[in-house]
Amino acid sequence: MTTNNTGAPTPTALDSSVPPLITAAALQQMLAEDPSRLVVLCASMGNPARALQEGIPGALLADIEAEFSEADAEFPHTVPADVQAPFAACGISDDSVVVVYDRHGVVVSPRVWWLAQAAGLRTVFVLDGGLPAWVAAGGATAPIATPQDAGVAGGEISAQPRPELFTDIRGVERALARSASAVVDARSAGRFAGVAPEPRPHMRAGHIPGSVNVPFETLFAEDGTFLPAVQLRQIFAAQVGDATQLVFSCGSGVTACVTALGARLAGWEDLVVYDGSWSQWGSADSQQPIAT
């Protein structure tokens, strides 16, 4: 989150003219009618070999840990120093249409979607319901490939990157001090309250004082697709009230992007992700305050 010379946050509104979701049926139609500018990415984290075994035919692997994170960063899943590079390596250019999905529904694909926004790409969609929705709609599956194994020619991205879509500890502190901003934690209610263990070692329990909790799992219907916008609006409004800018945190910056996507569907546009998230704020050697 950047600031102007008054110390107030610079608006970070997303492009409201491009809906962030695409249905399996719409993707099938797009593939059948005009796939020439289409790039389908399978967002993967933790088990890329499994993702390569079965996916949407023609998709390319987007390995969050290996390719879409900064390798030498102190905290996991940190935005790459050159956020456009992994997209260009997938053959993506300014005029590409990008669809991101993941194998488990909508868990890690929004992280790639958010990185694409930060890279300045405009036409990027998340497949609502992920691979399960694709299969349920009758979509075929096949082994997929990494961009390197597929022999993809590099794309050319000249768009201006948007680093202001990410923030740091100081940005979170500024947001907490503003009545028009809210800090939203996407972790489970148990982790937020400090009664459930953190999955990573050497982490404190609790949450950022003044933050609110919207667990990302609460944003989905039983079939794994997002709830209708009116229901999403109710969920967020119950926590953030009249706040117009939302700053998202989670464990390591991944599911924060799920909740950011949910807020975008609910009508919020001024959205920021705290990249360090609890991995930074809640680390055992951090001096940041915590609440339970």
Contact between 105 and 222 (Cβ < 8 Å)? no
**pLDDT one-digit tens code per residue, 100-133:** 999 999 999 999 999 999 999 999 999 999 999 9
Instruction: Give me the long-range contacts of 5-11 (CB less than 8 A, separation at least 24).
Output: 7/174, 8/178, 9/171, 9/174, 9/175, 9/178, 9/181, 9/245, 9/272, 10/164, 11/245, 11/270
pLDDT band of residue 5 (cuts 50, 70, 90) is very low
Q: Residue 246: its pLDDT value, please?
A: 99
Q: How many Å apart are CA 230 and CA 269, to the nearest integer?
A: 15
Count CA within 13 A, CB hemisphere, residue 109: 28
Q: Residue 106: its pLDDT value, please?
A: 98
Which residue in the block uniquely carries the two structure tokens 């488990």? 104
Asked if 21-136 and 163-281 have one fold, the answer is: yes
Contact between 236 and 173 (Cβ < 8 Å)? no
Q: Residue 7: its pLDDT value, please?
A: 38
CATH number for region 163-281? 3.40.250.10
Q: How many Å apart are CA 27 and CA 12, to the nearest integer?
A: 28
Catalytic center residues: 250
Question: What token pair was written down for 258?
Answer: 């799920």
pLDDT band of residue 12 (cuts 50, 70, 90) is low
Contact between 225 and 137 (Cβ < 8 Å)? no
Domain 21-136 has CATH 3.40.250.10: yes
Contact between 154 and 50 (Cβ < 8 Å)? no
Which residue in the block uniquely carries the two structure tokens 């020619």? 153
Q: Which secondary structure element, helix H or strand E, spans residue 189, and what is its range? A: helix 189-193
pTM for this one?
Answer: 0.94
Average pLDDT over residues 244-269: 98
Q: Residue 9: its pLDDT value, please?
A: 43
Q: Residue 104: its pLDDT value, please?
A: 92
Q: How many Å apart are CA 83 and CA 70, to the nearest integer?
A: 9
| pLDDT at 4 > cutoff 50 | no
Where do the structural domains in the chain lie, given as residue ranges?
21-136, 163-281
| pLDDT at 6 > cutoff 90 | no
Percent over 70 (pLDDT), the chain: 96
**pLDDT one-digit tens code per residue, 165-177:** 999 999 999 999 9
Average pLDDT over residues 235-242: 99
**pLDDT one-digit tens code per residue, 225-238:** 999 999 999 999 99
